[in-house]
Structure 1
Amino acid sequence: MTDDVPELRASDADRERVAEVLRDAVAEGRLDMEEFGERLDAAYKARTYGELAPLTRDLPVGAVAVPKVDMVKKSEVPDGSWADRIVGGEGSSTGGVAVMSGFQRKGRWTVPRRFNAFAFWGGGEIDLRDADFADREVVINCVAIMGGMQVTVPPGVEVVVRGVGIMGGFDQREEGVPGDPGAPRVIVTGFAFWGGVGVERKQTRAQRQALREERRREKLERRAERRELRASGRDEQYEAHRDMLEEHREMWRNAHDRHGKRRARDED
């Protein structure tokens, strides 16, 4: 066991798995409504595995449990297959130029250790979501003169922005977000004069589709569970704890919205 495992950050999916375990437990009579409410509230506020694990430790949680902290090794934490995307070698494209025109680098391509982009009265799109990387740290050097560029990175990538703007600017909203284990580090640097360089983090189309499929499957599972509970005469109890679950989910979303607004005010 490594001492820092309990401090690993929990994801929204981890919190939802714990919420489902608690919901099953109250439906089976293992938790009363007061205990359910307290644990559910703690689950949606939890930030680490160390805060989530005690919430289901005394329940027969089965396969949906968050892994027990004392059994997880840091080397066992999945790295999102980033190792397969750090391919080494040279990049498939080393730069892009747009003079009163535009350029794109997107889809399946290999980002070199240093990619140089230049735009004059034009624009460029540098999309890294489906790209491979020549190294764990790559530099995107952007020079935008009366033009603009957009750098798009996938979730999990660490972004560092070091560009300088004169009557222009570099977007720094994605800077400071921790990267996934094994993920590459993208440094966006360069110079913008009467222009700008945007940086945003977006999921790929495949990731968005997978998320939609997961939500659809969960919806179908909830419908099937409701039918089963209605047939067993426990529909009223089901509705009560479903209402409480939705209430806490709303609280979680509101907390995220408030955090986003505070972050926006701080940036302004």
Structure 2
Amino acid sequence: MDPPESEIRVGDRERRETDDRLRLAYNDGVLTLTEYDERDALCWAARTRGDLEELVRDLPPPHPPDPVTEELPEPEPPNPWVHRWRIAAIAGAALLGIGLLFGVPAVGAADGMSFFGSRAVTTLDRNAVDVGVLFGTVHVVVPDNVRVRTSGTVAFGSFTCAEACSSGNALQREVVVNGNGAFGSVDILRQSQLNRRIADHYHHHYDNYYDDDDD
């Protein structure tokens, strides 16, 4: 026949658990120092579960431990240069992949490269212009008395040469515009076409200025 629960013998593991319970009661002010010392001595001399239960019978049940909150360090402010370098690295990798996929030279802009922006290139007396574009726009300005021929590929972008490529004859000097890149545009303009755009832009702002002044 098994002995009663209170007569089962205990070891140091049970004594430590009871001692922790007594120490918690003392820290909470439930036991005085004298009471804790007396019960602690009886705890380590206990032989059965009944001996240990007698020491904590009148104590309140132990409350759960307070949750531990760990303060996380404040995040450092983002570094704009790091962000720009990441964009540059991603864009460079994208352009390289597109170059391998479509056979487009990844870097081949000896005369001008537009990278996340806009720039203009003038041909003057040159017969060939080599430009590149990546998430931007390159404006190539050619003289009025030349005929233009384009080469290259702008993947996922545009190659505009409406007026500059639509006129000219075999006697005129030929200018070859080679444009390569991705996610951007190459815009070829005659000098007179560019002058008209500048004039239209000036008149637009001039008219708006005086319209606002009249109000």
Note whether the superposition's TM-score is higher than 0.5. no
TM-score computed with the length of structure 1 as normaliser: 0.29
TM-score computed with the length of structure 2 as normaliser: 0.35
> Greater CA radius of gyration, 1 or 2?
2
